[in-house]
């Protein structure tokens, strides 16, 4: 294997040459005790950065077996390694020359602990996957600067992150413990009859609307469960903790504006993921089949049976096989729910602020003005109990102006200055004292969920004679000639998850060609990931995919369902 001196020699030789001369350094290099793999060399200083790997033999890395003894411990360990590497890489990263030259990046996470491809710790080696902007002056190689990056800065990053005993070991242990406690807590929810749990002392408010970090103000109010909803749970590392259990069934979260209703719902929404120590939401857990839904005016819908909620549309539109390029608020929210049920959703989170009002409720006065036979929508208030009692699907709703929901709720929580109070008894008393004159409009709920099989050709990524599937940020994907808007997938929280969805979109046509329906096709790919790792989603076979993160099947299906070229063969 070629060594560091030869790599430096090549870079010195090509110094000042045209940028494509960098191709000469592709391959593997010995930089004892590391091996450097230069998998992809960018063709232009303005192109996506070069992809490299830095590997250290397990005998040198010396990670104790316990750090990777289970899947969740491995995920947390690798994620922590990536975070340490990112911090060190940023110390050596600086703009050099034109384009993105001189930048060194490790794709570590935010506040969530997710399975990622940025680092690997196995029984054979520990490895970092980095992206590097090879420096240029104009479009000429800056060989000496590149040599400094590849033979000094990159190994320095490995020195502090790939050797177990050089890591901040207490931080590593806390990271693993946090992930393991969250997994244990999540596993307890079904047997406790809960869809979610929020520990006492949790800090739910965030720093700002554009920051997911915890609010650090001295006035922040730690969460405290009402006595009537408080439960105790014994965790492997935290031991016995107490907190609020959100029970199966129908739960309302009420309260005045700015008192923390939506903040609590957002914490439940992201409780499907473990969080880093110090986040404040480490011990907030929700079942992993919990889906937050909203209205999406203008989205496309393809062959979805929304007749449980909407029927008899003007013009004879078939709502048992509903398709549109421009959904209304109500039809889009109904479609979102049915699409999630198709994928196996067990609980819905709904905030009135981002919902279609006419989908949530029709009050008595409106019922008097517009007769039922003239109103296609059966509002959610008349279906929410049937969803739970007939189909086992729970709902948590944030409501500030629809007291009629008191009649259908199992639990009513009032938020007051960010603290929850159990007001279920009072809400029932009010419902008795002031009975609603509205009429129930839904006598039963038939969820005829036909599992749809998309036409594989409708996922065609061709554009200009070549396949194009690109992540355009957290909430946008380009697939061929069309863009997919993921804004409404509010539990998608990391750009690397969006890149993972791109990987699913590359693999789905083949799975769908095997006559699998959408759910089965996505599950087949997910099963392969469990066996082989997230690397199967990479668009670079045999090269490092260091920028992918775990994403749920719900978000993958959500992307497919928002593809405007989508066509369904059968259901």
Closest CA to 549 of 504, 509, 494, 502: 494
Q: Which residue has the tokens 């994620």?
A: 79
Under DSSP, is residue 178 helix (H, G, I), strand (E, B) or coil?
A: helix
Q: Give strand pairing partners of 264.
A: none
- Is residue 36 within 8 Å of 8, Cβ to Cβ? no
CA 243 to chain centre: 25
**In the predicted model, what is the mean pLDDT of residues 522-526?**
97
Closest CA to 539 of 460, 466, 470: 470
* Residue 526 structure tokens: 């997910």
Handedness of CA 459, 463, 467, 472 (dihedral sign): negative
Confidence tier at 543 by pLDDT (50, 70, 90)? confident
pLDDT mean across residues, the chain: 95
Q: What is the DSSP string of 237-267?
A: TTEEEEEEEEESSEEEEEE-TTSSHHHHHHH
CA angle 410, 228, 196 (to 5 degrees): 60
C-alpha to C-alpha distance for 211 and 333, rounded to whole angstroms = 27
How confident is the model over 345-358, as pLDDT tens digits? Answer: 999 999 999 999 99
C-alpha to C-alpha distance for 386 and 381, rounded to whole angstroms = 10
* Torsion, Cα of 204, 208, 210, 212 (10° steps): -30
How confident is the model over 103-115, as pLDDT tens digits? Answer: 999 999 999 999 9
C-alpha to C-alpha distance for 424 and 224, rounded to whole angstroms = 17
- Is residue 377 within 8 Å of 358, Cβ to Cβ? yes
190-449, what's its fold? Rossmann fold (3.40.50)
Whether the per-residue pLDDT at 571 is higher than 70: the answer is no
CA angle 289, 295, 297 (to 5 degrees): 140
Q: Is the pTM of this model over 0.75?
A: yes
DSSP 402: -
* Residue 342 structure tokens: 């198709």
Q: Give strand pairing partners of 462.
A: 467
* Residue 441 structure tokens: 């409009």
Under DSSP, is residue 35 helix (H, G, I), strand (E, B) or coil?
A: strand
How confident is the model over 130-169, as pLDDT tens digits? Answer: 999 999 999 999 999 999 999 999 999 999 999 999 999 9
pLDDT of residue 315: 84
> Which of 99-119 are b and which e, b meaning 16 or more Cβ less than 10 Å from the residue's Cβ?
bbbbbbbbbbbbbbbbbbbbb
pLDDT of residue 438: 93
Confidence tier at 312 by pLDDT (50, 70, 90)? confident
How confident is the model over 189-224, as pLDDT tens digits? Answer: 999 999 999 999 999 999 988 889 999 888 899 999
Q: Which residue has the tokens 């089965």?
A: 520
- Is residue 298 within 8 Å of 485, Cβ to Cβ? no
Among 419-428, 442-451, 536-545, name the one with the lowest average pLDDT.
Answer: 442-451
- Is residue 96 within 8 Å of 55, Cβ to Cβ? no
Strand blocks (E) in 163-319: 194-199, 206-208, 211-214, 230-235, 239-247, 250-255, 284-286, 290-293, 301-304
Query: How far from each other are the two terminal CA atoms of the chain, in whole angstroms?
Result: 55
pLDDT of residue 219: 83
* Residue 90 structure tokens: 């940023």
Among 124-133, 210-219, 417-426, name the one with the lowest average pLDDT.
Answer: 210-219
**In the predicted model, what is the mean pLDDT of residues 92-100?**
95
Confidence tier at 449 by pLDDT (50, 70, 90)? confident
The β-bridge relationship of strands 140-141 and 136-137 is antiparallel
Higher-pLDDT residue of 1 and 295 is 295
What is the domain partition of the chain in residue ranges?
2-167, 190-449, 453-570
Percentage of the residues of the chain whose pLDDT score is greater than 70: 99
Confidence tier at 59 by pLDDT (50, 70, 90)? very high
């Amino acid at each position: 294997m070629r060594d560091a001196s030869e790599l430096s020699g090549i870079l010195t030789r090509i110094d000042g040459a045209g940028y494509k001369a960098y191709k000469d350094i592709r391959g593997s290099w010995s930089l004892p005790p590391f091996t450097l793999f230069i998998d992809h060399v960018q063709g232009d200083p303005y192109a996506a950065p070069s992809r490299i790997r830095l590997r250290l033999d397990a005998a040198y890395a010396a990670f104790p077996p316990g750090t990777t003894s289970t899947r969740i411990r491995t995920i947390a360990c690798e994620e922590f390694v990536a975070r340490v590497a990112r911090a060190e890489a940023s110390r050596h990263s600086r703009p050099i020359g034109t384009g993105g030259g001189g930048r060194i990046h490790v794709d570590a996470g935010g506040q969530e602990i997710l399975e990622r491809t940025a680092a690997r710790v196995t029984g054979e080696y520990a490895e970092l996957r980095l992206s590097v902007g090879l420096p240029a002056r104009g479009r000429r190689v800056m060989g000496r600067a590149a040599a400094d990056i590849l033979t000094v800065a990159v190994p320095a990053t490995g020195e502090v992150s790939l050797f177990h005993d050089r890591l901040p070991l207490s931080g590593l242990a806390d990271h693993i413990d946090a992930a393991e406690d969250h997994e244990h807590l999540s596993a307890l929810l079904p047997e406790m009859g809960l869809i979610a749990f929020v520990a006492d002392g949790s800090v739910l408010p965030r720093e700002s609307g554009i920051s997911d970090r915890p609010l650090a103000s001295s006035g922040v109010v730690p969460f405290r469960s009402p006595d009537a909803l408080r439960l105790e749970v014994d965790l492997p590392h935290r031991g016995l903790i107490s907190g609020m259990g959100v029970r199966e069934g129908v739960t309302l979260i009420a309260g005045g504006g700015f008192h923390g209703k939506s903040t609590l719902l957002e914490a439940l929404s992201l409780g499907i993921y473990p969080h880093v120590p110090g986040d404040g939401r480490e011990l907030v857990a929700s079942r992993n089949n919990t889906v937050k839904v909203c209205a999406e005016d203008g989205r496309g819908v393809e062959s979805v049976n929304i007749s449980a909620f909407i029927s008899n549309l003007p013009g004879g539109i078939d709502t048992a096989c509903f398709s549109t390029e421009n959904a209304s608020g109500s039809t889009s929210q109904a479609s979102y729910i049915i699409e999630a049920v198709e994928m196996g959703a067990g609980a819905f989170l709904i905030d009135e602020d981002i919902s279609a009002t006419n989908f949530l409720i029709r009050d008595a006065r409106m019922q008097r003005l517009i007769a039922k036979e003239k109103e296609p929508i059966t509002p959610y208030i008349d279906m929410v109990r049937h969803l739970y009692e007939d189909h086992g699907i729970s709902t948590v709703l944030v409501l500030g102006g629809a007291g009629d929901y008191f009649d259908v709720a199992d639990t009513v929580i009032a938020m007051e200055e960010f603290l929850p109070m159990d007001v279920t008894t009072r809400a029932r008393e009010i419902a008795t004292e002031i009975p609603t004159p509205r009429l129930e409009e839904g006598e039963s709920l038939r969820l005829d969920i036909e599992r749809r099989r998309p036409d594989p050709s409708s996922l065609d990524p061709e554009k200009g004679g070549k396949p194009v599937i690109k992540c355009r940020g957290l909430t946008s994907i380009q697939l061929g000639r069309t863009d997919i808007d993921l804004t409404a997938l509010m539990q998608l929280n990391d750009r690397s998850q969006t890149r993972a969805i791109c990987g699913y979109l590359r693999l789905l046509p083949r799975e769908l060609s095997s006559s699998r329906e959408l759910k089965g096709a996505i599950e087949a790919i997910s099963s392969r990931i469990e066996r082989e790792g997230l690397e199967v989603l990479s668009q670079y076979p045999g090269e490092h995919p260091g920028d992918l993160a775990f994403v749920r099947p719900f978000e993958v299906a959500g992307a497919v369902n928002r593809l405007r070229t989508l066509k369904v063969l059968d259901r």
